[in-house]
């Protein structure tokens, strides 16, 4: 599904180069750019958007299954439900195995990590919308694994197989599944021991043309399929980081994940923090408002901040209300909840949680023209029932690219700051 990727080298030298007076306690991890579902000619890649939506729905379907298993259904948001697997249309499923040659960047915010002793390196998607670590196993026989780096348990002196299995189902009928191990895991110098993860033996074909090898979840333990602490929680527990905080800058260049604090070189002013409702297992903030211009058009909803989702989603009725305030807007794809607006007069869109209004740039809200020369552009907010609750919105990269975002386990809060 994706074709070109540059492997990321973790720039630990940046830490050494810092002034002794202002030496930072955290670790910087440069990340690759995520594409915007826009074709090279500026048009909206409708098919890729449908695939991306199905992947998002199924990821959060798995999260709810995990939450029910780990905590109980009482932890669900009001109206949340475990939906049937979102099935990708047959005509698109067939195309997933075709290498795309027009892509210049990745669909994940990816960096390198190592697992085992001696270290085995992997290119990983860092995802605040899930809570497990998995990479392909040397025992994987799926054709999807052929282009991936694989974990070989027999080559590591620190791996230990545990009971149980790991499994997530995807919309093409395939799964990501495998046994459960503990291992030494290193992310840019942050090393933890006995980290639970899965070296998967089956890998969904939806990852076939994806440059990443695996995924590292950064949400709460409650939505872990493994039922164990995710990597960063283990790092906090073992004292491998000085603060239980990590920060993201996602942009067309200079993207970074910072572990053990926030990188104040990347933002100005203070960080505006908001408490998280931890019961759901997500980085979920309450009391949000969506603005078009200076007018709050939808109020009092919950928002999950998810670096593993490309765009933004809200309940269909709320998103319909939102676009009623966008001059010239129209339904573009009623089934998948996409709307269009006049390209020459993009709306000024922002979100607030009781403090500053955090604005989304016109470029980040625009997914591209409906067709070349149409003058109509597709908005990066879609009306889609993901299953997360009646009043829950999912804010992915289309929002996160406009702010510096801090995630604090120490204070159970998410914060935003102006990018430098």
Q: Which residues are catalytic?
A: 127, 306
Which residues does 61 contact at the CB level (< 8 Å), separation at least 6? 82, 83, 85, 86, 169, 387
Give dist(CA 6, CA 1) in Å, integer. Answer: 16
Q: What is the residue whose two structure tokens read 């030298």?
A: 13
Q: Which residue has the tokens 């409906």?
A: 370
Contact partners, residue 292, CB within 8 Å, separation at least 6? 322, 325, 326, 347, 348, 349
Residue whose pair of structure tokens reads 């990018």 in the numeric block = 419
CA distance 207 to 177: 13
Q: CA–CA distance from 273 to each of 112, 162, 218 (Å)?
A: 29, 38, 18
Among 190, 105, 195, CA closest to 151? 195
Would you list the DSSP string of 132-194? Answer: -EEEEBTT--SGGGGGS--B-GGG-SS-EEEEEEEEEE-TTS-EEEEEEEEEEEEETTEEEEE
Helix (H, G, I), strand (E, B) or coil at 38: strand
Q: Which of 148, 294, 151, 169 shows the shortest CA–CA distance to 213?
A: 148
The two three-digit tokens of residue 100, written as one number: 């795309």
Reduced to 3 states, what is the DSSP secondary structure of residue 127?
A: strand
> What is the per-residue DSSP string for 283-319?
-EEEEEEEEETTEEEEEEEEEEE-TT-SSEEE-HHHH
């Amino acid at each position: 599904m994706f074709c070109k990727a540059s492997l990321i080298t973790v720039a630990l030298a940046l830490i050494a180069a810092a002034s002794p007076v202002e030496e930072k306690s955290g670790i910087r991890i440069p990340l690759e750019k995520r594409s915007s579902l826009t074709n090279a000619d500026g048009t909206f890649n409708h098919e890729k958007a449908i695939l991306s939506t199905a992947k998002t729905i199924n990821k959060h379907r798995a999260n709810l299954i995990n939450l029910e298993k780990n905590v109980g259904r009482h932890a669900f948001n009001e109206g949340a439900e475990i939906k049937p697997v979102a099935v990708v249309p047959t005509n698109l499923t067939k195309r997933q195995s075709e290498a795309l040659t027009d892509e210049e960047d990745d669909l994940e915010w990816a960096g390198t990590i190592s697992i085992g002793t001696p270290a085995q390196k992997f290119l990983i998607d860092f995802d605040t919308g899930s809570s497990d670590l998995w990479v392909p196993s040397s025992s994987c026989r799926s054709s999807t694994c052929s282009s991936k780096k694989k974990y070989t348990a027999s080559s590591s002196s620190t791996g230990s197989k545990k009971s149980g299995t790991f499994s997530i189902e995807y919309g093409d009928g395939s799964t990501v599944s495998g046994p459960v191990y503990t291992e030494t895991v290193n992310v840019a110098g942050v090393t933890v021991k006995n980290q639970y993860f899965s070296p998967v033996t089956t890998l969904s074909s939806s990852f076939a043309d994806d440059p990443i090898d695996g995924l590292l979840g950064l949400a709460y333990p409650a939505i872990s399929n493994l039922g164990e602490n995710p990597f960063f929680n283990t790092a906090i527990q073992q004292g491998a980081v000085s603060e239980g905080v990590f920060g993201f800058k996602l942009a067309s260049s200079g993207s970074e994940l910072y572990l053990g604090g926030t990188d104040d070189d990347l933002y100005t002013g203070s960080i505006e923090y908001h408490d998280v409702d931890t019961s759901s297992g997500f980085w979920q903030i309450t009391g949000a408002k969506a603005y078009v211009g200076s007018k709050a058009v939808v109020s009092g909803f919950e928002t999950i901040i998810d670096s593993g989702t490309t765009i933004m989603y809200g309940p269909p009725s709320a998103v319909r209300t939102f676009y009623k305030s966008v001059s010239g807007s129209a339904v573009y794809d009623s089934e998948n909840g996409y709307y269009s607006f006049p390209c020459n007069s993009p709306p000024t869109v922002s979100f607030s949680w009781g403090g500053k209004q955090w604005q989304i740039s016109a470029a980040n809200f625009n997914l591209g023209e409906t067709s070349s020369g149409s003058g109509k552009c597709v908005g990066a907010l879609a009306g889609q029932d993901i299953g997360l609750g009646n009043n829950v919105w999912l804010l992915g990269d289309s929002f996160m690219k406009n702010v510096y975002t801090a995630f604090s386990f120490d204070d159970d809060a998410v914060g935003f700051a102006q990018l430098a």
